Amino acid sequence: MRLGRFQQWEFAALLAGLLLISQSLAGEKVRESVLAGSWYPENPLQLAKVVDGFLDDPSDAQSKVKKPLRALIVPHAGYMYSGPTAAKAFKLVRGMDYKRVLLLAPSHYSVFKGLSITDVVAYQTPLGSVPLDHVAVQQLRRSPLVSADAKAHKREHSIEIELPLLQRVLESGWKLVPVLVGQMDDEAYPQAAKLLRELADEQTLAVVSSDFAHYGKRFGYTPFPLNDETPANIQQLDGGAIERIVAGDAKGFLDYQQRTGITICGFRPIALLLHMLPVSAELEQLAYKTSGQLTGNYENSVSYVVIAVNVPTAIAGSQGSDRRLNSEQFKRLHQIAVAGVRRAVLDDKHEGEQLLRNLPPELERLSGAFVTLKKDGMLRGCIGYIRPRDPLFQAVLKNGGNAAVRDHRFPPVTPEELEELEIEVSVLTPPRPIAHFEAFKVGQQGIILKKQGRSAVFLPEVAVEQGWNREQALTYLARKAGLPADAWKDGAEFEVFYSEKYAAPYGPSHETAKE
């Protein structure tokens, strides 16, 4: 006899209960639900019905988000508030056969440093038991960054709230790596990212659990008064954070959080994910909602955001030339660029030799790179390589000098100008072809146009600085190539690439370089 849908769930719940009993008898620890009956229904049939209702919402437009999905940023409030928004993310992976979910979440009730994974074999929800990936957890526990803070996990909702949704969308057989992210300093982010990135293979979905701005006296955060403009102010506040996240700008996001004090409870897990991602990752905002919209009362309001992450290859398998540099590596590159400028301007071939010793391997990989010089905010020189042909440090050293004295659009930089310069280093991913110009993500990607033996290139920031849309950027690109303004519309070939940049004044970097 074939069981009906809810009969199947009754049977599954019974089996899950038996499994939990057998685990308990075996002396194994299971993290029991602390949210059932409050944050979501306790009855498994009712819970399944509620979650499926969110997932089957016919009002949702068909998403055009690019696959394969490697990561999701989702909210974690009670289902009556954030459930419909979170479901917009999870429905994108419905029926997928991921073998592992790497779930990064904030700690609301305990303060600790680094990462924490609770000492259990499974998480329990009314829909059954979710086993931990024992091998992956043991691998992480070898790092001094990882602890097992029992107090932090005891009441924490940010991991558990995502599990029933995952249980309803993923094919059975997946295992969980539940990571609470505690206090992190600048050095801890790249270290933790490297540790976690190894787990983010083709069969792993990374999920970051976070709500966004918590506005109101209840949360101790009222950066603007409660009035008719509050909804728009909240959205603008969230928008600044979302803009930096979608740009993949971990440093900019953390700086924004510190400057505004925005109460994004999962800002550390979000920043950690951004550190994990390669430059080629494409992040897209899919949904935005506030509890104020749902209740009609903005006296206390929490924001819910969904962001999807696509990476052409698995995060763990991204090419070395596609990996993001950390802040210390970029500072070192900037110092090398300064040395390159000084070598050319002061005719000193030995300037900065000490900077080229004991380089990290990330600076010795083959990579495209540009060095841009600005004076009083105006371009003063810009030269680089689009395609990898030299080790990164050499590309930056050479192009620092080239930008200073070999950019034929400008006279050579003089020694008297050095202290007035701002020097910007851009590190590029290898270009890849796109089938049509509509695939060009203006402001996020650099672009190369080729037609009739002519070519031209723009770095990603050019369109941003000029305020161009796609059509305007392509029009100016065609003109730069010496072609008619509309030459991009037919018969042209395009390649795109991503760029990370670091800019700083000449002075401080040079002082550091002399130490």
Residues 49-92: tens digit of each pLDDT: 999 999 998 776 555 666 789 999 999 999 999 999 999 999 99
Whether residue 390 contacts residue 349, with contact meaning beta carbons closer than 8 Å, is answered with no
Are 64 and 197 found together in one domain?
yes
Q: Which of 360, 492, 508, 375 is nearest to 437 (CA)?
A: 492
Domain containing residue 289: CATH number: 3.40.830.10
312 lies in the same domain as 332:
no
Residues 491 and 412 in one domain: no
For residue 2, pLDDT over 80 is answered with no
Residue 444 scores a pLDDT above 50: yes
Give the separation between CA 50 and CA 40, rounded to whole angstroms: 9
Residue pair 398/336 in contact (Cβ under 8 Å)? The answer is: no
Q: Cα separations (Å) of 134 from 175, 176, 272?
A: 9, 9, 22
User: Does one domain contain both 403 and 485?
Assistant: no
Residues 412 and 490 reside in one and the same domain: no
Average pLDDT over residues 439-454: 91
Question: Where does residue 206 rank: exposed (0-12), middle (13-18), buried (19+ CB within 10 A)?
Answer: buried
Answer yes or no: are the C-beta atoms of 124 and 32 closer than 8 Å: yes
Q: Within a domain: residue 19? A: no
Q: Taking residues 172-200, what's their average pLDDT?
A: 93
Q: How far apart are CA 127 and CA 162, in angstroms?
A: 12
Give whole-number Cα distances, 298 to 78, 301, 304, 470, in Å. 17, 5, 14, 37
Residue 242: inside a domain: yes
- At residue 322, does pLDDT exceed 50? yes
Q: Among residues 318, 337, 362, which one ends one of the domains?
A: 318
Parallel/antiparallel/unpaired status of strands 69-74 and 146-147: unpaired
Domain count, the chain: 3
> DSSP characters for 302-349?
EEEEEEEEE-SS-GGG--GGGSPP-HHHHHHHHHHHHHHHHHHHHT-T
Q: Is the pTM of this model over 0.85?
A: no
Closest CA to 480 of 453, 443, 444, 454: 454
Take residue 249 and report the two structure tokens written for it.
Answer: 């700008």
Residues 349 and 487 in one domain: no
Are residues 339 and 452 both part of a single domain?
Answer: no
447 and 410 share one domain: no
Q: What is the mean pLDDT of residues 312-324?
A: 72
Q: Of 368, 400, 421, which residue is a domain's last?
A: 421
Structural domain contains residue 509: no
Does pLDDT of 24 surpass 50? no
The span from the CA of 20 to the CA of 32, in Å, is 10
In a domain, 507, yes or no: no
In this predicted structure, what is the pLDDT of residue 427? 93
Element (H, E) at 23: helix 5-25
> Residue 436 domain-assigned?
yes
Q: Sheet containing 493-497: which strands, arranged edge to edge?
A: 432-434, 493-497, 446-451, 454-458
**3 state SS for 40-77:** ECCCHHHHHHHHHHHHCCCCCCCCCCCCCEEEEEECCC
The 3-state DSSP class for residue 489 equals helix
Q: Contact, 176 vs 136, CB < 8 A?
A: no
| Model pLDDT, residue 321 | 56
Q: Looking at the structure, do residues 404 and 469 belong to the same domain, yes or no?
A: no
**Full 3-state SS string of 390-409:** CEHHHHHHHHHHHHHHCCCC
> Residue 403 maps to which CATH number?
3.30.700.20
Structural domain for 107, as ranges: 31-318
Amino acid at 368: G
Are 351 and 437 members of one domain?
no
- 441 falls within a domain: yes
Q: What is the pLDDT of residues 209-263, one digit of tens each?
A: 999 999 999 999 999 999 999 999 999 999 999 999 998 888 889 999 999 999 9
In the three-class reduction of DSSP (H, G, I as helix; E, B as strand; rest coil), residue 244 is classed as: helix
Q: Would you say residue 323 has pLDDT above 60?
A: yes
- Phi and psi at residue 301, in whole multiples of 5°? -140, 140
Last residue of a domain, one of 318, 353, 383: 318
